[in-house]
Amino acid sequence: MTADSGARLDRLPISRFHRRIMLLIGTGMFFDGFDIYVAATVLGATLKSGFSTMGQNAQFMSLTFVGMMLGSFLTGFLGDRYGRRFTYQANLAIFGLASIASAFAPSMAVLTLLRFIMGVGLGAENVVGYSTMTEFVPPQARGKWLGGMNVIVVSGLPVAALLGTLIIPHFGWRAMFALGGLGALVVWYLRKALPESPRWLESVGRTAEAEALLGSIESEVSWEHGPLPQPVPRLSAHPSASLGSLLSSALLPRMIVGATTLIVMNTLIFGFVTWLPSFFVQEGLSIVTSFSYSLIMSLGAPLGSAMGAFAADSWGRKPTIVGASLITIVLGGIYPFIHQTATLITVGFLLTIPIYILVATLFAIYIPELFPTEVRLRASGICNTFGRGATILTPFLAVALFRSYGIRGVLSLMIGFLLVQIVVVLRFGIEPKKRRLEEMV
């Protein structure tokens, strides 16, 4: 019996089943975001206390990206080979255990090594989490739900900033790693209830398992909503699952879009947003003041992600990406010339919003949609590998630009990258708004 997973999942109304999947994936993704963003507060504290230098902080960030690049690459192949659920649990355990060990690091060198291991898990989580959720949610709600997932993830930024402000002055930076690691391991235990993706099961020939799982899901949803509409049969044949298919005329332009946009966004986040507390400290602000400034600005992250979720379904993916890029360029051009404190914080907050509209639209929604189920994790993993790999040099470049030109030099780099992103998306991007995943082969 042919399961036809895509058609059957896409005609399901949003129900408790979808909310449960969102909770199971989203909680793990939250701690992923928390552990990524904890670097901003921790590095400011290690720098202020003398535990690290700006150069060591750059090494810490750079090795984070090496780990994330490796994790992104490996999880793509593991996720398409062994399944979404297995891969998800493995990477959560890796970054949870490494985070707890980081709380006991005796030196910056050991902390940096442990951060590399954390990075492997963090890079994997980002790829498999969004892709898995993409395969469960119907097309008419996919943008909002995937954007909502990103709201959960980027909430780790203000939460990390808030907890850093409250915890680090009293208990030190080590408590931040312990908190993130313990949370991740709790979620690892709870997430044993996460089902495998029926789309993936069918794509690897495990049709009977997909059929049984779909029957269970349909029974649960119909109990809540009544009789279900008939599925619309799949119109296209199964695409090739070979790695070489990513170089085909259909998928190569999408690979270019995915790799370029993730290079830009990783550079924007980890070349500017994550470095804000360290920049503020270097400009003479106290650690408490720098954390407070960063906390206020970081509140724009979940707001921007929520706006991205609605804009992607209402306006479309491409208009949202281009529009948010242009707004970021304008505000980024203004920011370095502001010196009055209230205005600086206000414009910084406003600048954070379009940055995270882009984060939600690209990381959570657009990239996983670009590729068929058979190669989704590999393609997303390779795109993320380019994104993470390019930013191995970003911390050193950000430090060099800041030392020579101040925050103005850092933002000039970001603006140049955003202009490239606009051109690539307009030239090579497709528009997946409210289209079935199987239609975009």
The tokens for 224 are: 């809540």
Radius of gyration of the chain from its Cα atoms, rounded to whole angstroms: 21
pLDDT of residue 332: 82
pLDDT of residue 235: 57
> What 3-state class would DSSP assign to 286?
coil
pLDDT of residue 122: 85
Domain count, the chain: 1
Q: Would 234 be classed as within a structural domain?
A: no
Q: Would 381 be classed as within a structural domain?
A: yes
pTM to 2 decimal places: 0.81
pLDDT of residue 8: 92
Distances (CA, A) of 64 to 95, 137, 152: 11, 31, 21
For the chain, the residue count is 441
pLDDT of residue 166: 87
Beta-carbon contacts of 318 under 8 Å, excluding residues fewer than 6 positions away, are 425, 426, 429, 431
Q: Would 298 be classed as within a structural domain?
A: yes
Q: Would 63 be classed as within a structural domain?
A: yes
Q: Would 243 be classed as within a structural domain?
A: no
What is the CB neighbour count within 10 angstroms for residue 52? 24
Q: Would 36 be classed as within a structural domain?
A: yes
The tokens for 273 are: 């947003």
pLDDT tens digit at each of 441 positions of the chain:
567 898 899 999 999 999 999 999 998 889 888 887 788 778 888 888 889 988 888 889 888 888 988 998 888 888 888 888 888 888 889 989 999 999 999 999 999 999 999 989 888 888 888 999 999 999 988 999 999 998 888 888 778 878 888 898 889 899 999 999 999 899 898 888 889 999 999 988 899 999 999 999 999 999 999 898 888 776 555 566 667 788 888 899 999 999 999 999 888 877 666 666 555 655 555 555 666 767 777 788 889 999 999 999 899 999 999 999 999 999 888 877 777 777 878 888 898 899 999 999 998 899 999 998 888 999 999 998 998 887 777 767 777 887 787 777 877 888 889 999 999 999 999 999 888 888 776
- Domain extent, residue 416, equals 5-225+248-434
Q: Which of 27, 307, 331, 301 is nearest to 183 (CA)?
A: 27
Q: Would 196 be classed as within a structural domain?
A: yes
Backbone angles phi, psi at 82, to 5 degrees: -110, -5
Q: Would 306 be classed as within a structural domain?
A: yes
Return d(Cα 265, Cα 414) in angstroms, integer. Answer: 9
pLDDT of residue 13: 94
Q: Which of 25, 84, 379 is nearest to 213 (CA)?
A: 84
pLDDT of residue 342: 79
CATH code (residue 120): 1.20.1250.20
pLDDT of residue 233: 73
pLDDT of residue 59: 87
pLDDT of residue 396: 74
What is the CB neighbour count within 10 angstroms for residue 55? 11
